[in-house]
Structure 1
């Protein structure tokens, strides 16, 4: 209720402002879209915790609430849950990258690519794509057709088709009662903003300079959780609205801890704040990082990779 009620209230306020149509109401409209997008992230975290079985005691309740929320977050719950479980199982494992993760190349892998491959990877890593076009593509289009899911059985397609049907019904009802303008100018921007904020949070949680990658047998789940996941120190209102997912090292260490109890863990064990600590300015500087340097055991930028190449030539 602490998430749904504020989101519904904000939606109705936005709809009212849309009817007014003055300059002042337009400014207020744009500004209020931002917290509405944040609340969409918090709604996704509720679904996320259902996927980990940590939201409710009952597995059945977790799954059905997760599926219902997936209609609003545009995420096929069962398909996503399996991918996300793979991410937790392989986080920090250099040999099992790409499972529900941000694609990351090593310096050697990048050098081995041809010009087209390098260009495509650079485009993928461009902030406009990573945090703008990419999230919109993922949530609006990619989640509608889970290409490659058939090899995992019918669950991926069944989950997606059921979610798509729910999204269609929700969209038609929204248009019927609020109008097409409200759907296009309120609901879609909220989803797009929420997607971009969510991808930013996910990126920062693993893509920082001193993150952790290793090969087996040296790799371990514990190191991947604590050393490869950040503690993202943000103002308390932002921590709340993003479901405390910035306390990501604790979440990866024990995904059965519900999001609202993560601050309690940090309060009991404040030393966990120091592991993978990032403030907002630290996180902004992470955007330039794109390649894993296996020798230095850290993420570096394309510019740093060029310097290494010149130094070794």
Structure 2
């Protein structure tokens, strides 16, 4: 176990018991420890983050247009792609209903945040709801869940390529095809992801997504493909890398347990994630690294997560997990070692291809 990782429970050893131990606290225990104000969003505070992000994006576009030099665009892509990612996080709050208590406002800001960066808001919102309702469940989690060793060995090369060797470019493919063993599309209202009652929402987001694609095509037609690459494609790729990197880091770690259906329940699965420190970027991308509290309390605004984490840490004790590794060190380590989980066992852990022990029980 890395020395800078606070792990969940005891170290992972082979255990003959049929189930892992139940948690010594409840969801109600954790909620009672948090000030009630942490569960209340402020519309004006939420809107301030949205407009602040838009303001920075506008300024960066103005600077790029003014300088208009080949040497500046890589820097612009990095900065603007990071702001696209920050804007996504605002829409992420909308999807959870933590932006405001007004559904119409959440949907409006969610679309304004997500459509410009080619995310179908309702399609993503619903699949993300599935992820949060099933975090840590090998059978029903939606994204960044591990595959079994037998599944890994049977996967075709092209599937392994994007899942294990190009994981930071996987998100657009996921929108169209979902993950391994999950069928459906985030754009099609008849996808297995959605309920019949959600058809209208999905059609709305897909239609707006198509309009955005048409707008980008119009820009390319009017100003040329190089213009589109300089001002949109470059930042978009950086945004995709950020989205995949952060999601990967929060759910791909050898010390995080995964559960099969019979041994899983919501709170146990919600703790199968990890807090990460992104340094000065924490405030830029709205403290998305404070992830444990977010998974326990889905509708808590991002600006209250630090206070909530401080309140629940004494109760969680060794069940609270945080890494002090640098972001890139953590990514490289998990990239090399996290490939699959054992074929059997109710509580299992990631293994590397050359790892022969069955780490789990």
User: Which residue of the other structure, out of 218, 242, 247, is the alignment partner of 2:263?
Assistant: 218
5 Å matches for 1:44-83?
Answer: 44-83=88-127
1:124 pairs with 2:162: yes
CA deviation string 1:230-255 (max 9, x = no partner):
101220x2112222111111111001
Computed over aligned residues only, the root mean square deviation of the Cα atoms, in angstroms, reads 3.0
Distance 1:176 1:110 in 2: 43
Partner of 2:11: none
1:299 pairs with 2:347: no
Distance 2:219 2:202 in 1: 25
CA deviation string 1:85-120 (max 9, x = no partner):
1111111112214x2x02521224435x3xxx3534
- Bigger drift between 210-219 and 88-97 goes to 210-219
User: Which residue of the other structure, out of 247, 253, 273, is the alignment partner of 2:290?
Assistant: 247
Q: Which runs of 5+ in 2 are unaligned?
A: 1-50, 179-184
Distance 2:244 2:291 in 1: 14
| Larger helix proportion of the pair | 1
The alignment's TM-score, normalised by the length of structure 2, stands at 0.71
Distance 2:125 2:174 in 1: 15
Distance 1:238 1:253 in 2: 23
1:194 pairs with 2:271: no
Distance 1:141 1:57 in 2: 32
Q: Which runs of 5+ in 1 are unaligned?
A: none
Partner of 1:204: 249
Distance 1:103 1:121 in 2: 14
5 Å matches for 1:273-292?
Answer: 275-278=320-323, 279=325, 280=327, 281-288=329-336, 289-292=338-341
Partner of 1:256: 299
Partner of 2:74: 30
Ranked by relative contact order (alpha carbons within 8 Å, sequence separation 6 or more), the top structure is 2
User: Which residue of the other structure, out of 228, 250, 254, is the alignment partner of 1:183?
Assistant: 228
Q: Secondary structure in 2 aligned to 1:79? A: helix
5 Å matches for 1:84-95?
Answer: 84-95=128-139
Note the C-alpha offset of 1:156.
6.5
Change (3 A) 1:60 1:70: same
Q: Secondary structure in 1 aligned to 2:253? A: coil
CA deviation string 1:25-56 (max 9, x = no partner):
x3333123212111111101111110111101
Note the C-alpha offset of 1:148.
5.8
User: Which residue of the other structure, out of 149, 168, 184, is the alignment partner of 1:107?
Assistant: 149
Partner of 1:135: 171
Change (3 A) 1:124 1:299: same
The alignment's TM-score, normalised by the length of structure 1, stands at 0.81
Change (3 A) 1:141 1:119: closer
Distance 1:167 1:263 in 2: 35
Q: Secondary structure in 1 aligned to 2:339? A: strand
Note the C-alpha offset of 1:140.
9.2
Q: When the two structures are aligned, how many residues end up with a matched partner?
A: 291
Change (3 A) 1:94 1:176: closer
Distance 2:161 2:335 in 1: 13
